[in-house]
Chain A
């Protein structure tokens, strides 16, 4: 066990009689190399750590607890003691709530997921630098139309988290991750277009620089000569990367917290057909291939596989401890938090659609006519997960005769999330575990509004 667990235990020992206390201790080490024009533009390497403390004060018979939270970017003894005191003081002013409590061990065993590559800490810095430099070289050399590589990065991260509480929770998780990413600008005459590529993994050996480079180049080059398409209704085929983003957006409506607070269009619809009958959607952080795989959730309960939509019917939601109590159920092991400075809430880690039989070419052929979208913009400004209104900027290629045709840009595609789920035509079999909380795969959706000229 790590020294972080001992540290967490020590903090729990600071709880005063009658109060509940939970501590989240994290330490991370990361390295980032950015190459530009054949040189190292920047090289950063640092360790950071911090602590987040929740204190619950009992409010009296049947009234429940008051919750206070404090965090600090340090594991220094004095700072940690001050953080506990501050969390306790904050708790005095919160509203007492019978549903507010800490997670208690629920007997579910944690899955064995190995997310740690011990060799990463021994990897020489020169090799990391070489990976970034050669990625840039590779993209520049790939096609004469590549005019610029605006960034080529190597990055890695080692994160350890210990969690302990007066309720008997004690968990320790650690993960390594490595990534390569590159942005290319292709040009022809006055026309410039961009494309990005990346590769992620747990170990440097997982990285695929060729794929990252080829993706960036292909995506930039094929957009050259793009024009605005004509407005109209059409079928849209989304690239796996875009689908990962779409699923992440939909996931916020599947959070039990959104449901109990009346912010989800799925509320009260369990058992109803909310999607096309081919749609089965699960969140499974116990799948080690998932980028968001984890043995324990952010309250220290075992992560588990949760079915959300089954053959088109809404099956259930994801809960952390507090939202589950509000809904009259139990946690699904789905607490997530944004590091030591955040408090837990209910959310997804590893969403994936059950794959269909077709690869991307097969989906394009089956759709016949429509728009293929390789990237979208304005997700945070044009998609409302409460109302379901969906409108995003898009670039990609027209689909004609079942194949990719001329490139289009500066258009939007719009619908509502509710209608899009019902209008799913084809789900690709090309599942890719992308960075973030959802896998990607090709997805075709019918009857969307394309807005252009």
Chain B
């Protein structure tokens, strides 16, 4: 990947000027150069090594309430001017005249990886896959299939707008995941584990791929003897780091300003109100180095920030991108993100987590006479307008007499955000984060989620047992 600027400042200034030539309140160029590489081991073979390259720019022109958007894979002045012209088609008043845009300084930003994955020889990457395959298969005779995936990406972005903002970032991400299948008398079960960091190859200095493989295999194996999950409302203990996805869904999405300004969230008008148990302090923080949702500047050029959303149960603020913030006469909170240069940015979470409490995690289980212990969550989904959300378990156990007992088969839990947040009655001093991919309006972005061990006094679990 070339290290020079994606687009020269003088070109950016001319393109932004041209974008506003027919009028408009704001023009922005978002340029991106993304390079990816990956490998998949499946059925004992390296099935595929892949590489990808994508570069281009998205240009938007904002006129009143309307945004025009176009993108191009041509980063030449000609290609950019054509996209600017297309994006400006929404500006019809024609009275803009010549607009001069002067950009601020753009300090060069280096990537923050110790070892760029692109500098690592391909065989070294494949060794990790073979090792994980061996380890997962040796976890038990019932392990019948293993798939191992590795991927890295480097994403250089450049953002410039007609307010004079100019910013760059250089994001390096590395991920590794294992899916194991175990087969027994009751059929097949799957186990999944992944590591994903905004870091380079150095992630494997600390992460042992054998651990990742064993965890995935053990999850599949333990579910072979699992019984159907219960149904109805039960107390639930979530293990620390089992998946802050609960908060991502239960309130995170509902605190995104685009849902708020459209009156499409149950949290509209709730700032200053008690919206959760006083134990809950929820933070969204794009600055946490290395976490999956980390970056230096967001996809609108705003520096990543730590934003407290809920403090001791009281809603303190929503998350904002540039356009929604401008309308309210405030600053963006650094939550403007997009999947690629082919997409418009919108309000997105970064790393969203619940701060730790003071309880002992084992005590929380011991003081739960009966319920469900969730060791690992899968994904989830929310309807922000009603607050109803689901999240799925991929490793869960019964709690009987204050002890973790039998493994349970996968099931979804369903709840209503504001109700579930009020039902948190215990919060431990442990804490861990999990990476995830957040989908919204057809766009995927990497996010982190985190929480300590906690208990919800009642939530509906959707198993098949009565």
What is A's interface to B at a CB cutoff of 8 Å? 36-37, 39-46, 48-50, 67-74, 76, 79, 82-83, 86-87, 89-91, 93-95, 97, 125, 147-148, 150, 185, 192-194, 228, 231-233, 261-263, 265, 341, 343, 377-378, 380-382, 384, 386-389, 391-393, 395, 409-416, 449-453
The yes or no answer to B55 lying at the interface (CB within 8 A) is: yes
Q: Flag if B47 contacts A95 (CB, 8 Å).
A: yes
Q: Flag if B69 contacts A43 (CB, 8 Å).
A: yes
> Contacts of B69 on A, CB cut-off 8 Å?
42-46
> Contacts of A148 on B, CB cut-off 8 Å?
262-264, 385
- The binding surface of chain B is classed by DSSP as strand
Q: A40-B66, A93-B46, A392-B412 are in contact. Are A449 and B385 (CB under 8 A)?
A: no
Q: Flag if B144 contacts A262 (CB, 8 Å).
A: yes
Q: Flag if A393 contacts B414 (CB, 8 Å).
A: yes
The yes or no answer to B463 lying at the interface (CB within 8 A) is: yes
Beyond the given pairs A48-B73, A94-B46, 8 more chain A to chain B contacts, judged by CB atoms under 8 angstroms and listed by A's residue number, are: A43-B68, A49-B73, A150-B259, A228-B460, A265-B188, A377-B414, A378-B390, A384-B190
Q: Flag if A71 contacts B392 (CB, 8 Å).
A: no
Q: Pick from B45, B229, B233, B391: contact of A381, CB below 8 A.
A: B391
Q: Pick from A68, A192, A341, A412: contact of B231, CB below 8 A.
A: A412
Please report the total number of B residues contacting A with Cβ < 8 Å.
Answer: 81
The yes or no answer to B322 lying at the interface (CB within 8 A) is: no
A401 to B73, CA, bound (A): 59
The yes or no answer to B386 lying at the interface (CB within 8 A) is: yes
Q: Flag if A74 contacts B388 (CB, 8 Å).
A: no
Q: Flag if B181 contacts A386 (CB, 8 Å).
A: yes
Q: What are the 4 closest A-B residue pairs judged by CB atoms, nearest first?
A: A412-B462, A381-B392, A382-B412, A378-B390
Of residues 396 through 431 on chain B, the ones whose CB sits less than 8 Å from some CB of chain A are: 409-416
> Contacts of B460 on A, CB cut-off 8 Å?
228, 410-412, 451-453
- The binding surface of chain A is classed by DSSP as strand
Q: Flag if A265 contacts B53 (CB, 8 Å).
A: no
Produce 1/0 per residue, B64-94, CB < 8 A to A: 1111111111000000000100100110000
What is B's interface to A at a CB cutoff of 8 Å? 39, 42-56, 64-73, 83, 86, 89-90, 122-123, 126, 144-145, 181, 183, 187-190, 223, 229, 231-233, 259, 262-264, 266, 342, 344, 377-381, 383, 385-386, 388-392, 409-416, 460-466
Q: Flag if B70 contacts A231 (CB, 8 Å).
A: no
Q: Pick from B50, B89, B264, B411: contact of A391, CB below 8 A.
A: B411
Q: Pick from B45, B379, B386, B466: contact of A97, CB below 8 A.
A: B45
Closest B residue, CB atoms, query A32: B69
B164 CB to nearest chain A CB (Å)? 24
Closest A residue, CB atoms, query B41: A95
Q: Pick from B46, B264, B411: contact of A382, CB below 8 A.
A: B411
- Give 21 CB contacts A-B under 8 Å: A43-B89, A44-B69, A46-B86, A49-B73, A72-B52, A73-B56, A74-B73, A89-B122, A90-B51, A95-B46, A97-B47, A231-B231, A377-B381, A377-B414, A387-B223, A387-B410, A389-B409, A393-B462, A395-B388, A452-B232, A452-B460
Closest A residue, CB atoms, query B44: A95
A423 CB to nearest chain B CB (Å)? 12
Q: Flag if B463 contacts A41 (CB, 8 Å).
A: no
Q: A263-B188, A393-B414 are in contact. Are A413 and B462 (CB under 8 A)?
A: yes
A40 to B52, CA, bound (A): 35
> Contacts of B45 on A, CB cut-off 8 Å?
94-95, 97
Q: A36-B262, A73-B53, A93-B123 are in contact. Are A194 and B411 (CB under 8 A)?
A: no
Q: Flag if B391 contacts A409 (CB, 8 Å).
A: no
> Contacts of A93 on B, CB cut-off 8 Å?
39, 46, 49, 122-123, 126
Q: Flag if A453 contacts B232 (CB, 8 Å).
A: yes
Closest B residue, CB atoms, query A415: B464
A386 to B189, CA, bound (A): 7
A439 to B64, CA, bound (A): 41
A76 to B72, CA, bound (A): 13
A73 to B64, CA, bound (A): 33
Q: Flag if B344 contacts A42 (CB, 8 Å).
A: yes
Which of A91, A125, A392 has most B Cβ within 10 Å? Answer: A392
Q: A42-B66, A150-B262 are in contact. Are A409 and B386 (CB under 8 A)?
A: yes
Q: Pick from B56, B65, B145, B266: contact of A39, CB below 8 A.
A: B65
Which of A74, A87, A147, A414 has most B Cβ within 10 Å? Answer: A414
Q: Pick from A185, A192, A263: contact of B145, CB below 8 A.
A: A263
Which of B52, B54, B64, B68 has most A Cβ within 10 Å? Answer: B52
> Contacts of A91 on B, CB cut-off 8 Å?
49
> Contacts of B232 on A, CB cut-off 8 Å?
231, 451-453
B379 CB to nearest chain A CB (Å)? 4
Q: Flag if B386 contacts A193 (CB, 8 Å).
A: yes
B16 CB to nearest chain A CB (Å)? 18
B178 CB to nearest chain A CB (Å)? 14
A95 to B48, CA, bound (A): 8
Q: Flag if B67 contacts A43 (CB, 8 Å).
A: yes
A46 to B187, CA, bound (A): 48
